Amino acid sequence: MDSAPSSMTRLLHPDVAPQPGGTPLTTPIYQTSTYELPRTAEAARIAASVAPGAFYTRYGSPNAREAEAMLADLDGAEAALLVGSGMAAISAALLSTVAGGPGGGLGGGEVLAQRSHYTASLTLLQEMLPGFGVPVRLVAQEDLAAEVRPETRVVYVETPSNPTMTLTDLRAVRAAAPDAILIADNTFATPYNTRPLELGVDLVVQSATKYLNGHSDVTAGVVTGSAALVAKAWETARVLGPVCHPFEAWLLARGLKTFPLRMARHNANGLAVAEFLAGHPAVRAVHHPGLPSHPQHDLAVRQMRGYGAMLAFTVADADAAARVMRSTRLCRNAVSLGGSESLITHPASLVFAHQGAASGVDPAMLRLSVGLEEVEDIVADLAEALSTVDR
């Protein structure tokens, strides 16, 4: 330029001298939507690459790349894709592996899935995929391996499932469907307790909103697996646009630093609370894979390192469940999970509200996400609430 820029222009281009000092221990938040590119052929290479970290934030960001590196390492995966929610991760994984063909979705093949899934996953499987011409067959979770057919191209599982904590035998499903793409939702177990890729799964999806972040202040999701499959999921996410913005990615990376410490406490608290509830006269049933009474406890021992802090318990009826939920003080009524605080909710009316009675969830059941409080305090809170139930 022949003349110096005006003061208004200089506001947009501040000339800040480098400061003496070292490298920040915590990655800065890259709160920008786009990046200036080099004026060389390198710019075209960056634009054409998979999930570039400094191109356009819908494609990724340095903060997302840091979290993805941590998440891939946790799962033992070649690659990870960070997106804006758990459902964005599930959608990207499924939509990137199905396609219409002359004989219907997947070229005449099918998606096989269990009937017991998170509510929005069920909507995707029961309504959206069939609407795109993709055949989907839902079967009992325990029968999944036996229900594999020659035309099965994708198998989608959730283990433990929401809210009954039923397990899927991942090795058995892999053996029954050696040529299918196997996708597993590992949100409840987390990679601390189950590493599905080591059991034959191709893609793992998780709501990073939950245990991975652990502080109830982030909405995010992650897909992990081979670099080739994650690249396909990224192409789908690039089109659909479920961005995990830099600040959320930064918060997630911060939360991941304490993940092993939190999960050890969650596991211990979850099992202790499950044992308390199993011995309480007002409780008809407790669903937690760490209990020997769980019908799949032997599978849990083989497939899980620990049993997690998610459980469900059933009381006399729906009225009793409502009284218990109204009576807790420490356990808060909220539909998420995996944070530091204990949460209690009524799945039939809150988590599965969009399915209603069709969900098949027992209206006398309550779901509990056991937090990091002193376990004696959690037990005391539940004991007081259960005292309101007529026995």
pLDDT, tens digit, for every residue of 165-189?
999 999 999 999 999 999 999 999 9
Predicted confidence at residue 1, as pLDDT, reads 52
- As beta bridge partners, residue 374 has none
Predicted confidence at residue 184, as pLDDT, reads 98
- In the predicted model, is pLDDT for residue 366 greater than 80? yes
Predicted confidence at residue 10, as pLDDT, reads 81
- In the predicted model, is pLDDT for residue 12 greater than 90? no
Return the closest-CA partner of residue 156 out of 168, 164, 171, 165.
168
pTM for the whole structure: 0.93
Distance of CA 275 to the CA centre of its chain: 26
Active-site residue flag, 210 = yes
The one-character DSSP state at 330 is S
Top-confidence residue, 108 or 35:
35
d(CA 95, CA 55): 25
d(CA 1, CA 95): 50
Catalytic residue among 35, 56, 58, 284: 58
Active-site residue flag, 185 = yes
- In the predicted model, is pLDDT for residue 104 greater than 50? no
Catalytic residue among 75, 185, 202, 362: 185
Residue 102 binned pLDDT confidence (cut-offs 50, 70, 90): very low
Output the CA angle 341-189-358, nearest 5 degrees. Answer: 85
Predicted confidence at residue 390, as pLDDT, reads 64
- In the predicted model, is pLDDT for residue 107 greater than 80? no
Residue 353 binned pLDDT confidence (cut-offs 50, 70, 90): low
Top-confidence residue, 348 or 97:
97
Give one DSSP letter per residue of 355-387, joined into a string: TGGGG---TTEEEEE--SS-HHHHHHHHHHHHT
Catalytic residue among 210, 232, 262, 367: 210
Return the closest-CA partner of residue 320 out of 265, 275, 270, 283.
283
- In the predicted model, is pLDDT for residue 348 greater than 90? no
Catalytic residue among 30, 59, 118, 211: 118
Active-site residue flag, 59 = no
Q: Which two three-digit tokens encode residue 213?
A: 């972040």
Q: Where are the alpha helices (DSSP H) in the chain?
A: 7-12, 42-48, 62-75, 86-95, 119-123, 129-131, 170-176, 190-193, 227-240, 246-256, 259-278, 297-303, 318-327, 375-386
For residue 5, report the phi and psi dihedrals to the nearest 5 degrees.
Answer: -65, 155
Helix, strand or coil for residue 126? helix
